Amino acid sequence: MKDDASSVLYRDPARTADERAEDLLARMTLEEKVAQMLCIWQQKSAALVDERGRFDMAKAEAYFASGHGIGQVGRPSDAGGGLTARQMAETTNDIQRFFVERSRLGIPVIFHEECLHGHAAPEGTSFPQPIGLGATFDPELVERLYTMTAAEARARGTHQALTPVVDVAREPRWGRVEETFGEDPYLVARMGVAAVRGFQGDASFAGKTRVIATLKHFAAHGQPESGTNCAPANVSMRVLREVFLPTFKAAIQEAGAMSVMPAYNEIDGVPAHANRWLLQDVLRREWGFEGFVVSDYFAIRELNERPEFFGHHVARDGKAAAALAVATGVDIELPDPDCYLHLAELVREGTVPESVIDERVRPMLRAKFRLGLFDDPYVDPAEAERIVREPSHRDLALEAARKTITLLKNDRGALPIDPLAIRTIAIIGPNADRVMLGGYSGEPLHSSTVLQAIRDRLPAGVEVLYHEGCKITVGGSWSQDEVTPSDPEEDRRSIAQAAAVAARADLVILAIGDNEQTSREAWALNHLGDRPDLDLVGRQNELVDAIAATGVPMVTLLFSGRPASARNVVAKAAAVLELWYLGQESGRAVADVLVGDVCPGGKLPITIPRSAGHVPAYYNYKPSARRGYLFDSADPLFAFGFGLSYTSFRFASPRLERTEIGIGESTRVLVDVTNTGARRGDEVVQLYIRDVVSSVTRPVKELKGFKRVTLEPGETARVGFEITPELLAFYDIDMLFRVEPGEFRLMVGSSSRDADLQTMTLSVRG
């Protein structure tokens, strides 16, 4: 029987979240506390919902007969094979009502969802993958997109997004590159801060339009050994501190991220879910994190052994894994009740003090109070149905797709296309008539392919031909576990037919690259996605050769989840556009750029190497790292920050307000950028810094500022960057984060290439 609400502090909305959490915690039994550290996901069909994904009272009463409740319910959108916005809102309301009314203390649940690039649910708006958003170099856009995502997800009952990924991707063979904002810690940090602000706002959660953001994967997940997912991160403490931790620190200290997910990996032999230094010393004590830590799916079990996948073998069984993880600082086990079912037993036998359980539960209760779940836990199904159909959301997805597109090559002005000068155009390739959203995607209400969008955009008098050319894999869906290579002979017959089609055209648009199987998260041995090379899969290079042999000009569209070492394509195409995955408005955005309605302005958020043998290829390398190769260049195919335009820009000589400062002082660098072409266009002004002489070796250059500007023909913009001690500091020979006196080289320009940069010298007095 519940306590009288009028006499219970935790039910009083006038009290603070901290006060209410402490009062509630004091009233909870050990079993009720442990229940808050559990989640249910795949077991929903046995415990909460029927075959249609709707709430089932009989199942719930049987499964949760103890009345202890549960902490979270995972991904309600996938119940019953997928719920519409209205259906999900109704189901989450029913599940929530059950726990509020049937558990002893009436503790509501948190519903979490995947929101990598939009709510990954039926009817959720889908925008470009994060690697594409990194290419926009536009944090303000990223904040707006995740604000939109939060509103859609919260209207359906979601409270927590397992996003953003703030891993720094320094290993392009890794299948999860698409989930990151790129290879540079400064860029990833700026985008991560923007994403958290979009999800959480001011974290008051007023109006029920925001959700808790979850930073992942903590830490160094983006440079796995051999490029394979979950492999060890073999990095030094200095690299960890300077490359992989700053993105998390910024998102916590600047944006107030309320949740963190440890990585599957290990650092120096210690798995992240068992790393007290990482989760206690750094995260909580050093950075002051007050939120809660969620396990990655099945990662606590993997401290022992996850059948048919892998194990770290630092715990002898699931019970020992639970003791290790809870002592380390993992507050809740996702996705289903497993190892943490042993927690009450571990407390009773004296292995785990109940005070540790209290420490783990407290921040999760506090979050539920901050979310307002004890006061108004329900959503309006009509509003959920309305908001996913909000026209402005589709417009925003289109804006993001347009800003993502990056022009890598454009010989003799091959682009934009003049529709009046073309009678026949051939759209060829395995990605020409395919909706590709990438990993962790939902089923948006709208989608467009390149073929359909070009047909819609070109005048009626232009004949549009189409041929698939070849396959990449058979099927190719992200969720399709088995990867079946295409048949070589069938491909070659198809390539010959495609070449015949191309020969009839004035121009070929060739859409190739990855599909959703050839670059994806490898979450099991039967669902792989990491690759030992970066070449185009299958017979795509043969297709390129056949089209090039026709002599018809070829514009190539590269869809990809990670960099493709497409040297053959670059050599033979008149123009190359890097698209990554553009989301639901993919075709529309591509058509807009091809015909010149939109001027491409994206920049590469990650280096494109010449081959897998050139890995690592990130731009911010140490001075001794790129001395050269026998028979090949050590330079990348395309550099970080690179991207062309249909217009041209001139950078005036940059200038420092003060060329000499003391340690602890700041100055500013200013540069005027002019659009010298005939089209409205975007340029990304980039600032790089190098400490010239230092106590430990420093990268040849590091991004420390950027600004995307839109300029009309003839227009000039003045861009300024504040040069603060934080931008000049590094971990010195004694592992102290400080500024060393001496000279600093400041470089300003349009990419990380030396040829695109102008240099100044700043002197710092000791």
The HSE-up count of residue 707 (CA atoms within 13 Å, CB side) is: 16
Question: Is 112's pLDDT higher than 80?
Answer: yes
Mean pLDDT value of segment 490-510: 98
Question: Is 479's pLDDT higher than 90?
Answer: no
Mean pLDDT value of segment 147-155: 98
Phi, psi of 552, deg, nearest 5: -80, 135
pTM of the model as a whole: 0.97
Q: Which residues on neighbouring strands pair with residue 578, listed in sequence order? A: 406, 558
Which residue has 């001075």 as its token pair?
A: 623
Q: Name the nearest CA neighbour of 479 among 531, 442, 513, 444.
A: 442
Question: Is 633's pLDDT higher than 90?
Answer: yes
Please return the burial class of 592, using the count of CB atoms within 10 Å of its CB with bins 0-12, 13-18 and 19+.
buried
Q: b/e for 704-741, b at 16 or more Cβ within 10 A?
A: bbbbbbebeeeeebebebebebebbbbbeeeeeeebbe
Mean pLDDT value of segment 737-743: 98
Angle between helix 540-549 and helix 488-503 axes, rounded to 10 deg: 30
Task: State residue 5's pLDDT score.
Answer: 58
Question: Is 670's pLDDT higher than 80?
Answer: yes
Mean pLDDT value of segment 244-253: 98
Question: Is 178's pLDDT higher than 80?
Answer: yes
Question: Is 571's pLDDT higher than 90?
Answer: yes
The confidence band for 7, taking pLDDT boundaries of 50, 70 and 90, is: confident
Q: Which residues on neighbouring strands pair with residue 111, listed in sequence order? A: 73
Tokens representing 385 are 């149905």
Which residue has 């690759």 as its token pair?
A: 531
In 69-211, DSSP assigns E strands to: 72-74, 110-113, 160-161
Task: State residue 4's pLDDT score.
Answer: 57
Average pLDDT along the chain: 97
Q: b/e for 314-345, b at 16 or more Cβ within 10 A?
A: bbeebbbbbbbbbbbbbbbbbbbbbbbbbbbe
DSSP state of 428: E
Residue pLDDT, tens place only, 36-66: 999 999 999 999 999 999 999 999 999 999 9
Angle between helix 85-102 and helix 139-155 axes, rounded to 10 deg: 60
The catalytic residue positions are: 296
Please return the burial class of 459, using the count of CB atoms within 10 Å of its CB with bins 0-12, 13-18 and 19+.
exposed
If phi > 0 it is left, if psi is from -120 to 50 it is alpha, else beta; for residue 668 that is: beta
Residue pLDDT, tens place only, 125-146: 999 999 999 999 999 999 999 9
Q: Name the nearest CA neighbour of 401 among 624, 138, 113, 636.
A: 138
Tokens representing 467 are 């041929």
Residues 6 or more apart from 434 whose CB is under 8 A from it? Answer: 449, 476, 515
Question: Is 1's pLDDT higher than 50?
Answer: no
The confidence band for 431, taking pLDDT boundaries of 50, 70 and 90, is: very high
CATH numbers and ranges of domains, the chain: 5-387 (3.20.20.300), 405-601 (3.40.50.1700), 649-765 (2.60.40.10)
Spatial separation of the C-alpha atoms in residues 70 and 430, rounded to whole Å? 46
